[in-house]
């Protein structure tokens, strides 16, 4: 023990570390490894056939495409919302600030049926959009986007907001005294400082959106080749007792998740360096 | 770019709220119209994506009157779903609480190799799709899984039964307490604990009288978020539950079943309970943030 | 270029930061705003820069009323206490910032900008750091880069907020001398804020002493140090012994003790405060001598050029502490012992009417 841990007078390292490792392994690591162990029982050809089936590929396109679009929308409006919450005063600000976390607190199934009710052809928003623009939102790929925007918004707001809050006004005062106008200050001084946090928020929203299930399945309509998301493909295979198929697709998604995790960690390190904040 | 008028412009657009320090500083304020436009756009987006769904839940729930609403909630299947949801949270939250404290203690108070890797592993459940969480437990405990034959032989049911639901819930709520406590305890350092040990306190005494008072708000914060997710989890639980009415249905699953049966009023009635839970969570969370904030500034 | 402020008033809630300030900063001078924290000096500097709005009064730059001019149009160079360098930009980009932000028609070409930036970096002797980021610089280097950045836009005046406040003692001394030298080369009207009297007296052409939002005295370092006009200035610049007494027949009565030779006329019965610097007091062992203030020797500190004697007041001055600075020979002659009762004889005393002190009696 002494070789991996440096000396400390505080007690309880063995107990707390032992419990942490056992619990982590039993609940998370060993079960997760099952995905890769089951997948490794497939031949490469079998694996490839499953994960590159047209219906599955269509689901990747929707899941990744909609997740990217949703994260981009959230990056723009999340930044705006964070800016408004930090910089401006307006009535009801505290309530808005608290409600930003609603997607974290509201069960996804509830969000799913609520959004469906709103955007269905006879819903409050749906009938308006379909009536005036002729665009179908619920039971179409656009519905997936709507659900993913809902899910991802707090990720951007909550990563950008603290960075904005910690920004010294001195920087803007300096820019201003050097003759920069408001837009130049925003573009050349503020944006470069916020950017790493904004990208972290974008990546977090994207990662969450790719794996999201509950809020999407109600509104998506789940039409094969059109509005099926990848997590739904896993469920579909499972319901057909096609464990190999479900596992292979899960393996692909897990690899993507791990890559995202690495990217997010790197972004956070960058953000810490850029803003001088330590995490 | 005319400069004469820009300096003395109104601070807040709303006379009855006090302006922020940015609105008072000539170097950090925008013109009135830019400010009003940005606030309007941001709040419109906020209303469209966050407020409207919330309002929709309650209006849909009460659309057919209070009687239908009450009937849906007092239905025996609904009540057993509530019971199962509470039971699941009651098991998952304390387990993850103990884990969170243990992990944070080991990580924040000691130096050891592989610490960063351990933190990444603890965060891992957040980046795994809930559907995959359900799947992995099927692979381990399902009929064709690693322990499938043994479980059947001993007549133990995990998948499509309550233990599977609890396990899946523990997985998805795994990091909540730990990730709240780790940065908090790291920031607090270990000087106070060392002082306690020097003064002759034992391990548990040190934890109970020195560490716990310092982390109580962070702990509570983690527990509140953990509980909200535990009660609201859908995807992971959906895979392992088997959807047996009155037995393996949690509230979110019950919402799904009712919805798929086109029993919308009942589905939204149960959903409104979950939405209320979410609102209570947000209120508690804001309150804890406030308390933790005033506590921190008092030090 | 000259700076003038007229009747400036600034209130933060119930706190008066500036109370009817009128000052004139002549062209080409280096002026220090000196005072304790909360005296309003930084607020005054920020109002001159345009970073803060006065509640009333005006700022006149070069004879022109600039009170309504936005900070970005005032053409002032401002150096922030914590430098406010842009962390994501190199040293070069930081210094070039102001030039690149100019409207397109008055913006110099990149080539001209590069030349100018390098010239400025040479001026602050940091040309070799052009490609570094601020996080890779020492505090003193950051300070000089901040100065170069402010100078790049050819400001009409240079304003520095606690320019040496965040530096350690050794670097601070070095930079002080360097700033003075730089000012002698550039002759740009400059104002800097400081709470460090040594810094103000050493660097500035003129010193403005402020307290509680008011100007206490303006003058050359020599004037303010040797001829303090108010009790505050007397107490703020250098250490001082203070006693409270009453004037009667040309003598100052402090309790039962009497001090002669006031050199100043006060009406009989005036309540006054008397100030004497540590080196303006002598110690007399013969307590029979009537003219002196009784005190008890507490400690004798004999190191450095001068020795210091710490004494406790007795009788009416009970609870008060005095400090006397003597030459080592004199201390040797006196051969003081702890607890010995002696008399303090001032060679010079400065008296102020008691009511003139009420304002900072609590400070």
DSSP one-letter string for C211-250: ETTEEEEEE-HHHHHHS--SHHHHHHSS--EEEEEEEETT
Long-range contacts of range C176-179, CB-CB < 8 Å, 24 or more positions apart? Answer: C176/C202, C176/C203, C178/C144, C179/C147, C179/C203
Nearest CA in chain B to A254: B128
Q: Give the per-residue pLDDT at A278.
A: 37
Angle made by CA atoms C41, C47, C48, in degrees to the nearest 5: 90
* DSSP at C56: E
> What integer pLDDT is reported at residue C262 of this predicted model?
59
What burial letters (b/e) apply to B86-98, b meaning 16+ CB within 10 Å?
A: eebbebbbebbbe
- Set of chain B residues whose Cβ sits within 8 Å of the Cβ of A16: 101-103, 105-106
Asked if the Cβ–Cβ distance from C69 to B7 is below 8 Å, we say: yes
The pair of structure tokens assigned to C37 is 């924290």
* CB nearest A10 (choices: B16, B46, B190): B190
Q: Which residues pair with C4 in a beta bridge?
A: C24, C60
Edge-to-edge, what's the strand order for the sheet holding C214-219?
C76-79, C157-161, C189-194, C30-34, C206-211, C214-219
Over range C346-353, report the average pLDDT: 81
Flag whether pLDDT at A277 surpasses 80: no
User: What number is the average pLDDT over the span A232-253?
Assistant: 92
CATH 1.10.3720.10 residue ranges of chain B are: 65-298
Using CA atoms in the order A152, A156, A157, A162, what is the torsion angle rounded to 10 degrees? Answer: 150
How many alpha carbons fall within 13 Å on the CB side of residue A113?
Answer: 33
Q: Top-level CATH class of B65-298? A: mainly alpha
Chain C nearest C-alpha distance from A268 (Å)? 16
Across chain B, which has 299 residues, the per-10-residue mean pLDDT values are: 41 75 88 93 95 95 91 91 95 96 93 90 92 94 88 90 94 94 90 88 88 92 94 94 83 94 93 95 93 69
Hey, are the CB atoms on B110 and A5 less than 8 Å from each other?
yes
A179 close contact with B: CB closer than 8 A: no
Partners of B19 on chain A (C-beta within 8 Å) are 89
Please tell me the distance from the alpha carbon of residue B30 to that of residue A54, in angstroms, as a whole number: 51
Residue B91 CB partners (closer than 8 Å, separation 6+): B166, B169, B170
Mean pLDDT of the A100-114 span: 95
Nearest CB to B102; choose among A20, A243, A260: A20
Supply the pLDDT for residue C264.
62
In chain A, the domains with their CATH numbers are 1-41 (no CATH), 43-275 (1.10.3720.10)
Domain boundaries defined on chain C: 3-235, 239-360
Instruction: Quote the percentage of chain C above a pLDDT of 90.
Output: 46
Give the chain B residue nearest C68 (alpha carbons): B4
Length of chain C: 363
**Which residue of C82, C87, C101 is in closest CB contact with A179?**
C101
pLDDT at position A144, please? Answer: 96
Distances (CA, A) of C292 to B202, B243, C285: 63, 101, 11
Q: Mind listing the pLDDT tens digit for each residue in C72-98?
A: 889 999 999 999 999 999 999 999 999
- Taking CA–CA distances from C77, the nearest residue in chain A reads A177
The interface pTM score, or ipTM, of the predicted complex is 0.91
CATH topology of domain C3-235: Rossmann fold (3.40.50)
**Interface chains of chain A (3 or more CB pairs under 8 Å):** B, C
In the structure, what pLDDT confidence band is assigned to residue C355 with cuts at 50, 70 and 90?
Answer: low
Task: Enumerate the residues of chain C whose CB falls inside 8 A of the CB of residue B26.
Answer: 50-53, 70-71
| Domain boundaries C239-360, corresponding CATH code | 2.40.50.140
Q: Which of residues 6-65 of B touch C (CB under 8 A)?
A: 6-8, 25-27
Tens digit of each residue's pLDDT (9 = 90 or more) over A36-65: 999 999 999 999 999 999 999 999 999 999
Strand C189-194 and strand C30-34: the pairing is parallel
- Subunits with 3+ Cβ pairs within 8 Å of C are A, B
Examine domains C3-235 and C239-360 and report if their fold is the same.
no
Query: What integer pLDDT is reported at residue B100 of this predicted model?
Result: 95
pLDDT for C358 beyond 80: no
On the CB side of B161, how many CA atoms lie within 13 Å of its CA?
10
Nearest Cα neighbor of C116 from C137, C132, C102 is: C102
Average pLDDT, rounded, for chain C: 87
Chain B residues with CB-CB distance to C51 below 8 A: 25-27
At a CB cut-off of 8 Å and minimum separation 6, what does A120 contact? Answer: A126, A138, A139
Long-range pairs for B33-41 at CB < 8 Å and ≥24 separation? B34/A182, B35/A88, B38/A80, B38/A83, B38/A84, B38/A88, B39/A84, B39/A88, B39/A90, B39/B13, B41/A77, B41/A80
Averaged over C111-134, what is the pLDDT?
Answer: 93
Which residue carries 């920031």 as its tokens? B187
Q: Which of A4, A91, A254 sits opposite B14 (nearest CB)?
A: A91
Identify the closest residue of chain B to A35 by CA–CA distance: B136
> Distance of CA B151 to CAs B141, B145, B249, Å?
8, 10, 22
Residue predicted with more confidence, B28 or C265? B28
Residue in B220, B221, B223, B195 with CA at minimum distance from that of residue B209: B195
In this complex, do A189 and C102 lie within 8 Å of one another by their Cβ atoms? Answer: no
Name which of A228-242, C165-179, C281-295 the model is least confident about.
C281-295
Q: Is there a contact between B3 and C52 if contact means CB atoms under 8 Å apart?
A: no
Show Cβ contacts of residue A276 under 8 Å, excluding neighbours closer than 6 positions: C87, C135
Q: Which residues of B fall within a CB distance of 8 Å from A213?
A: 129-131, 234-235, 238
CB C260 within 8 A of CB C251: yes
| Among candidate residues B98, B97, B117, the one with its CA nearest the CA of residue B107 | B117
pLDDT of residue C204: 94
Q: pLDDT of B148-184, one tens digit each?
A: 889 989 988 998 999 999 999 999 999 999 999 999 9
Beta bridge partners of A5: B112
Residues of C in contact with A180 (CB under 8 A): 72, 97-98, 101
Per-residue CA distances from B16 to A83, A92, A98 (Å) = 21, 11, 21
C152 to chain A: closest CA residue: A178
């Amino acid at each position: 023990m002494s070789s991996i841990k440096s000396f400390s007078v505080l007690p309880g390292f063995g107990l707390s570390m032992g419990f942490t490792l056992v619990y982590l392994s039993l609940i998370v690591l060993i079960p997760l490894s099952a995905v890769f162990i089951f997948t490794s029982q497939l031949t490469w050809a079998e694996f490839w056939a499953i994960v590159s089936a047209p219906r599955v590929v269509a689901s990747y396109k929707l899941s990744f495409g909609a997740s990217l679009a949703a994260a981009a929308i959230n990056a723009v409006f999340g930044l705006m919302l964070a800016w408004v919450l930090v910089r401006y005063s307006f009535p009801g600000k505290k309530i808005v600030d608290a409600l930003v976390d609603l997607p974290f607190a509201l069960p996804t199934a509830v969000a799913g049926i609520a959004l469906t009710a709103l955007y269905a052809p006879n819903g409050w928003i749906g009938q308006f959009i379909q009536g005036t623009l002729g665009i179908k939102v619920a039971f179409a790929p656009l519905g997936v986007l709507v659900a993913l925007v809902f899910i991802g918004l707090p990720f951007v707001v909550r990563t950008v907001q603290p960075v904005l809050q910690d920004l010294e006004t001195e920087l803007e005062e300096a820019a201003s005294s050097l003759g920069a106008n408001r837009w130049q200050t925003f573009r050349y001084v503020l944006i470069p400082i916020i950017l790493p946090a904004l990208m972290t928020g974008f990546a977090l929203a994207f990662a969450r959106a790719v794996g999201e299930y509950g809020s999407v399945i109600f509104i998506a309509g789940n039409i094969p080749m059109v509005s099926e998301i990848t997590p739904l493909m896993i469920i579909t295979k499972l319901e057909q007792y096609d464990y190999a198929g479900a596992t292979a697709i899960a393996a692909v998604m897990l690899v993507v998740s791990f890559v995202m995790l690495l990217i997010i960690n790197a972004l956070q390190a960058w953000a810490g360096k850029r803003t001088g904040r330590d995490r | 770019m005319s400069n004469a008028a820009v300096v003395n412009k109104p601070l807040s657009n709303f006379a009855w709220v006090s302006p922020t320090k940015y609105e008072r500083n000539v170097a950090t304020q925008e013109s009135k119209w830019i400010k009003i436009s940005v606030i309007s756009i941001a709040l419109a987006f906020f209303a469209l994506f966050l407020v409207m769904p919330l309002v929709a839940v309650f209006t849909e729930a009460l659309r057919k009157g209070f009687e239908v609403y009450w009937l849906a909630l007092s239905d025996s299947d609904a009540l057993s779903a509530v019971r199962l949801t509470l039971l699941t949270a009651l098991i998952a939250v304390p387990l993850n609480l103990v884990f969170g404290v243990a992990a944070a203690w080991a990580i924040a108070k000691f130096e050891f190799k592989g610490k960063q890797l351990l933190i990444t592993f603890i965060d891992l459940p957040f980046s795994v799709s809930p559907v995959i969480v359900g799947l992995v437990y099927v692979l381990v405990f399902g009929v064709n899984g690693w322990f499938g034959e043994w479980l059947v032989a001993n007549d133990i049911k995990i998948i499509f039964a309550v233990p599977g639901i609890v396990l899946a819930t523990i997985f998805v709520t795994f990091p909540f307490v730990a990730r709240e406590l780790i940065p908090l305890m790291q920031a607090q350092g270990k000087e106070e604990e060392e002082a306690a040990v020097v003064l002759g306190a034992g391990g548990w005494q040190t934890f109970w009288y020195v560490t716990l008072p310092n982390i109580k708000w962070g702990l509570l914060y983690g527990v509140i978020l953990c509980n909200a997710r535990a009660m609201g989890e859908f995807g992971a639980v959906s895979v392992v539950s088997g959807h047996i009415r009155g037995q393996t249905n949690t509230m979110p699953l019950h919402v799904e079943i009712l919805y798929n049966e086109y029993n919308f009023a009942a589905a939204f009635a149960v959903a409104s309970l979950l939405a209320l839970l979410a609102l209570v969570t947000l209120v508690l969370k804001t309150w804890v943030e406030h308390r933790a904030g005033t506590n921190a500034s008092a030090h | 270029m000259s700076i003038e402020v007229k009747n400036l008033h600034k209130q933060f809630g119930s706190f008066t930061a500036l109370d009817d300030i009128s000052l004139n900063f002549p062209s080409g001078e280096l002026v220090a705003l000196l005072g304790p924290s909360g005296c309003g000096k930084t607020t005054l500097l920020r109002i001159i820069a345009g970073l803060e709005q006065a509640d009333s009064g005006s700022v006149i730059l070069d004879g022109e009323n600039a009170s309504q001019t936005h900070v970005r149009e005032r053409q002032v160079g401002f150096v922030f206490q914590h430098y406010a360098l842009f962390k994501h930009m190199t040293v070069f980009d930081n210094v070039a910032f102001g030039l690149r932000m100019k409207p397109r028609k008055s913006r110099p070409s990149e080539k001209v900008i590069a030349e100018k930036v390098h010239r400025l970096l040479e001026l602050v002797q940091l040309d070799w750091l052009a490609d570094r980021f601020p996080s890779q610089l020492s505090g003193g280097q950051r300070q000089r880069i901040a100065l170069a950045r402010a100078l790049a836009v050819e400001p009409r005046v240079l304003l520095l907020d606690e320019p040496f406040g965040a530096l350690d003692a050794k670097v601070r001394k070095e930079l002080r001398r360097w700033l003075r030298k730089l000012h002698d080369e550039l002759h740009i009207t400059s104002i800097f804020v400081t709470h460090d009297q040594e810094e103000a007296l050493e660097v500035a052409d003129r010193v403005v002493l402020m307290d509680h939002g008011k100007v206490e005295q303006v003058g050359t370092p020599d004037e303010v140090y040797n001829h303090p006009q108010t009790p505050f200035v007397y107490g703020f610049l250098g250490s001082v012994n203070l006693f409270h007494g009453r004037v009667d027949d040309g003598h100052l009565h402090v309790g039962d003790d009497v001090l002669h030779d006031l050199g100043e006329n006060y009406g009989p019965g005036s309540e006054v405060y008397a100030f004497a610097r540590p080196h303006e007091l002598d110690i007399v062992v013969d307590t029979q001598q009537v003219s002196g203030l009784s005190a008890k020797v507490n400690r004798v500190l004999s190191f450095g050029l001068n020795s210091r004697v710490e004494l406790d007041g007795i009788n009416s001055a009970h609870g008060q502490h005095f400090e006397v600075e003597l030459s080592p020979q004199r201390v040797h002659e006196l051969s003081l012992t702890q607890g010995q009762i002696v008399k303090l004889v001032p060679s010079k005393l400065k008296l102020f009417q008691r009511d003139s002190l009420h304002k900072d009696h609590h400070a």
